Amino acid sequence: MKDKNNIDEIARAIYIINRHAKAAPKPQHLYTIKKEALSLLLKKNKAKKIGLHFSNNPKFSNQHSTLLIQVQDYYFHIPPSKEDFKNLKHLGSLDHNFRNPRTQMSLSYAKRIIYDFIGWKETSTKKGRKKTFSSYYTPSSLGKMDWTSRRNTRYH
């Protein structure tokens, strides 16, 4: 029973990561850990490949397909392999009426679950404020001028 609950939590975490990736300015990392987690679930027979769908977002105006994967009550898409095209049925266009179950979870918690599952070590980032400099910052020359030489030339 514990394994089923664990897989359900992983599926929910993938859902949250996927949802955030769709709106993120730099989603590459989120999509990478999603794909790693789904690949590992497939390898452990905890997920199954359903078939291929046409993508909603054609690349360079060319239609392409994505692989539909089921994990518990959730469905996800990842890029297919050549073997997937040979072995799986093409399901046509995506069914827009279907929605994954609504899930509430913070992105940081979801990432921790997935990092733990795939054995990913998060690169440590130092907490605290970064020093940022404005692009129009001009360092002050106060205190750097040689006042004695200027005074001597001005009054002589």
How many domains in the chain?
1
Q: Could you tell me if residue 133 is inside a domain?
A: no
pTM for this structure? Answer: 0.70
Q: Could you tell me if residue 65 is inside a domain?
A: yes
Q: How far apart are CA 111 and CA 106, in angstroms?
A: 9
- The bridge status of strand 74-78 relative to strand 48-54 is unpaired
Q: Could you tell me if residue 64 is inside a domain?
A: yes
pLDDT per residue as tens, the chain (156 positions): 456 669 999 999 999 999 999 888 989 999 999 999 999 999 999 999 998 888 776 665 556 788 889 999 999 988 888 888 888 888 877 777 678 888 999 999 999 999 999 998 766 555 555 555 555 655 555 555 555 555 555 555
Q: Could you tell me if residue 11 is inside a domain?
A: yes
Q: Could you tell me if residue 30 is inside a domain?
A: yes
Domain enclosing residue 100, as ranges: 2-122
Q: How far apart are CA 103 and CA 72, in angstroms?
A: 13
Q: How far apart are CA 50 and CA 88, in angstroms?
A: 8
Closest CA to 8 of 132, 133, 113, 150: 113
